Structure 1
Amino acid sequence: MEMTTEILMSTMNTTGNGTIDGGNDVVTLLSQVSNILILVFLMISMGCTIELEDLKETFRHSAGFFVGMLCQFVLMPLIAFCLSLTFKLEGAGALSVLILACCPGGTLSNLFTYWTEGDVCLSVCMTSVSTAVAIGMMPLNLFIYSRVWTDDKAVIPYVNIATTLVSILIPVAFGVFLRWWKKEWTKYVTRFGVVLAFILIIVVWVLFFMLNPTWLFAGWQLWICAVLLPFLGYGFGYSLAILFRQPHFKCRAISFETGSQNVSLASTLIVVSFADSPLFLDMLFYPGLYAVFLYIDSFIVIMLMKGVMHLKKRRNSANDEDHDENKNDKIGLDNEGMATDQEDGVKVVAMKQIVADNSVKTDEEIKV
């Protein structure tokens, strides 16, 4: 789960005299603790679903990785750039949309993949790899696309990227170890972790609305972009994965990894790079909007995927039943054919016996 960081929350909640409201300090602390717990429990739960053989298989067949990286660092920035031009966003809005799209995938994509029975191992590996690759790809993409709106050079938060990577790898490694050591425990650990993470996500949502009421005042263009960006990421990610002949359970993982971005990292980059810019305050709107619609869009997509999967299972079940009926009918026909053959065989034997008896009688009559 990614929301805004402490520095972003503090900036958005200063009072008129420039001091931080003490009540907001408590809410901010609660939000931070909740985010940490979500990350830890969620990634341990995801690690508990991964076998060591799954990891070997994922790295052995790395086509999914390349498709995911293509979607994450080529497709998403291009989509954000096109959205910004299409809706004629001003500098602050366009830059915030672009920055968020250039960030690597967030850990929520792993949860969404788990809920839709996707390839969780691929999802977790892609999150880790994309976070590492972002060290080079984020500055490159921002240099390519941001020139239209600003000449300011974005400062990449390398420490935050490294921290995010470590915070993903350690809990996942613990979950994988737990599955290897006590596999019978992992079912309960996964269920507990996922349920707890979901409850804490709701808590963080409430805290976010308490801390950041200003996102409601964003322009309608930003609202549309916040709605469309996850949908477009999911749709294009899935389509590109299909184009590269990936199986559907991998397509779901690639789709969620493409459309679900690391909001916390984007917020940090905005604060670090543009705190002294006149665009700064206006740039804070979009991460909050995106975080809200990420859940809404994802819920809709998850329900659609589950509906399609349910229909496919019903169709396959019906086909299996038809196949069994046809097989039983064929067996019945074969049995009837065997019975008929047996009856015919008995008749032939009886006729031969009658002929033989008649022959014996005829011989006896001739002798007489």
Structure 2
Amino acid sequence: MNEFNINSNVWIELCGSLLLFCLVWNMSASVDFDALQHQLHNQKAILTGLALQFLVMPFLGFTVVRVMQLPHEVSLILLVLCSSPGGSFSNFFCSLFNGDLALSVAMTAISTLLSVFALPLNLFIYARLVFHEDQVVVEWSAIFWTLFLVILAITTGLAASRRFATTRFHFYTNRIGNTAGLCLVLFTAVLSNSEPGSRLWQREPSFYVAVALPCLLGLTVAVLLSTLLALPRPERVSVCLECCIQNTGVGASVALTMFQGEQLASAMAVPFYYGCVECVVVILFCLSVWKAGWTKAPQDASIWTMLVTPYEVLALSSAKSISEIDCGYVNYEQEQVVSQIV
């Protein structure tokens, strides 16, 4: 029986890792490499995102855990979650709702690299302010494995984007990444409800409030700060999503490594429920900012067209084809295409 449990845990971790890698790789591969290079020099937006990610979110997580009375495994995973880098689902939602995907991938890449130092530092500081020293036991190998996986997926995905720089390639990798993101959501949902006595809907009321608060507060702070700094509107969308969407894969990996049985189900419920809150809050937010003209999708497009059309990919492709015309002459049909996309 123990051997069966060990083997099943190995397969669970492997499936989760593969889905996470597939999501991040395809989102990175769908980004235009030149656009990414341009966004890497966008210091204002990137520094804003990093400040929200590594200063605001960990503090919000600490405040919630300190105020609310939660089980040890829930508190620990929530702290890990709030100290994690921006989640790959930020790329997924930026792609789906046509925010600035290049900026989103750039911030995910930079925040993941910095999180190798920032995550342990924040967790070391805040966990010791919440728990007794003997309760702060974290499987760092699980955290660093997940971070390594994300970094590997981003670098190889971007290499593929540079090698196969065609609209068709970017379009299909975008679709595959979106599909992998949906599969990862379903995978986490099954795991978090795997124990009969630990279903998501059987938690204490404090659980639902505590896990949801960092996302709601983080998004509010991000909207206010990015607007105050007058970032371009699609960049505001990316910064806001990067802030409130945490890397739930890190929290899930730590939970899978550290806990078993009902504690595992309880711990896995944190990234899953946080992901549910993210989905609801982010969808409402993205629909609102789309209609307000903050995204790259036309406000008058149908919702289905807006969701299935990667406007950034098409706009960059059309702009490149037009920029190749040296004498300043632009074909009328090309001009119409660009005007409809941008």
The TM-score with structure 2 as length reference comes to 0.71
- Letter of the structure 2 residue corresponding to residue 46 of structure 1: M
Distance (whole Å) between structure 1 residues aligned to residue 178 and residue 81 of structure 2: 28
Q: CA deviation at 1:132?
A: 1.6
- Indicate how the Cα distance of structure 1 residues 42 and 90 shifts in structure 2: closer, same or farther if over 3 A, else same: closer
- Letter of the structure 2 residue corresponding to residue 127 of structure 1: T
Matched ranges for 1:183-332 at <5 A: 183-191=167-175, 193-201=176-184, 203-205=186-188, 207-209=190-192, 211-213=194-196, 214-216=198-200, 217-269=202-254, 285-312=266-293
**Does structure 1 conserve the Cα–Cα contact (< 8 Å) formed by 2:212 and 2:274?**
yes
Matched ranges for 1:355-366 at <5 A: none
- Letter of the structure 2 residue corresponding to residue 237 of structure 1: A
Q: Tell me what 1:164 maps to.
A: 150
- Letter of the structure 2 residue corresponding to residue 144 of structure 1: I
**Does structure 2 conserve the Cα–Cα contact (< 8 Å) formed by 1:113 and 1:256?**
yes
Q: Tell me what 2:75 maps to.
A: 94
Q: CA deviation at 1:224?
A: 1.4
- Letter of the structure 1 residue corresponding to residue 148 of structure 2: A
Distance (whole Å) between structure 2 residues aligned to residue 262 and residue 289 of structure 1: 12
- Indicate how the Cα distance of structure 1 residues 283 and 237 shifts in structure 2: closer, same or farther if over 3 A, else same: farther
**Does structure 1 conserve the Cα–Cα contact (< 8 Å) formed by 2:189 and 2:272?**
no
Once the two structures are overlaid, the 10-residue window that deviates more, 87-96 or 141-150, is 87-96
* Secondary structure of 1:211 counterpart: coil
Distance (whole Å) between structure 1 residues aligned to residue 210 and residue 47 of structure 2: 27
- Letter of the structure 2 residue corresponding to residue 166 of structure 1: L
- Indicate how the Cα distance of structure 1 residues 101 and 210 shifts in structure 2: closer, same or farther if over 3 A, else same: closer
- Indicate how the Cα distance of structure 1 residues 175 and 68 shifts in structure 2: closer, same or farther if over 3 A, else same: same
Distance (whole Å) between structure 1 residues aligned to residue 79 and residue 123 of structure 2: 7
**Does structure 2 conserve the Cα–Cα contact (< 8 Å) formed by 1:226 and 1:286?**
no
Q: Tell me what 1:66 maps to.
A: 47
**Does structure 2 conserve the Cα–Cα contact (< 8 Å) formed by 1:115 and 1:302?**
no
Q: CA deviation at 1:219?
A: 2.8
Once the two structures are overlaid, the 10-residue window that deviates more, 75-84 or 239-248, is 239-248
List gaps (5 residues or longer) in structure 1. 1-17, 316-368
**Does structure 2 conserve the Cα–Cα contact (< 8 Å) formed by 1:47 and 1:171?**
yes
* Secondary structure of 2:108 counterpart: helix
**From 35, 38, 48, the counterpart of 1:57:** 38
Distance (whole Å) between structure 1 residues aligned to residue 187 and residue 132 of structure 2: 33
Distance (whole Å) between structure 1 residues aligned to residue 174 and residue 106 of structure 2: 18
Q: CA deviation at 1:110?
A: 0.7
**TM-superposition CA deviations, 1:138-178 (whole Å, max 9, x none):** 22212322223221455433641323321332223323432
**Does structure 1 conserve the Cα–Cα contact (< 8 Å) formed by 2:112 and 2:150?**
yes
Q: Tell me what 2:331 maps to.
A: none
Q: How many residues align?
A: 290
Distance (whole Å) between structure 1 residues aligned to residue 178 and residue 73 of structure 2: 37
**TM-superposition CA deviations, 1:268-305 (whole Å, max 9, x none):** 44676x669xxx97586244233234134323422342
Q: Tell me what 1:19 maps to.
A: 2
- Indicate how the Cα distance of structure 1 residues 269 and 301 shifts in structure 2: closer, same or farther if over 3 A, else same: closer
**Does structure 2 conserve the Cα–Cα contact (< 8 Å) formed by 1:122 and 1:253?**
yes
- Letter of the structure 1 residue corresponding to residue 75 of structure 2: A
Q: CA deviation at 1:28?
A: 6.7
* Secondary structure of 1:104 counterpart: coil
**From 135, 152, 159, the counterpart of 1:173:** 159
Considering only aligned residues, what root-mean-square deviation do their CA atoms show, in Å?
3.4
- Indicate how the Cα distance of structure 1 residues 137 and 302 shifts in structure 2: closer, same or farther if over 3 A, else same: same
The runs of at least 4 aligned residues of structure 1 exceeding 6 Å deviation read none
The TM-score with structure 1 as length reference comes to 0.67
Q: Tell me what 1:114 maps to.
A: 95
- Letter of the structure 1 residue corresponding to residue 231 of structure 2: Q
- Indicate how the Cα distance of structure 1 residues 257 and 195 shifts in structure 2: closer, same or farther if over 3 A, else same: closer
**Does structure 2 conserve the Cα–Cα contact (< 8 Å) formed by 1:43 and 1:172?**
no
- Letter of the structure 1 residue corresponding to residue 180 of structure 2: A
Distance (whole Å) between structure 2 residues aligned to residue 163 and residue 45 of structure 1: 13
Distance (whole Å) between structure 2 residues aligned to residue 81 and residue 159 of structure 1: 21
- Indicate how the Cα distance of structure 1 residues 189 and 178 shifts in structure 2: closer, same or farther if over 3 A, else same: same
Q: Tell me what 1:105 maps to.
A: 86
**Does structure 1 conserve the Cα–Cα contact (< 8 Å) formed by 2:85 and 2:111?**
yes
Q: CA deviation at 1:80?
A: 1.0
Q: Does 1:128 align with 2:109?
A: yes
Once the two structures are overlaid, the 10-residue window that deviates more, 213-222 or 105-114, is 213-222
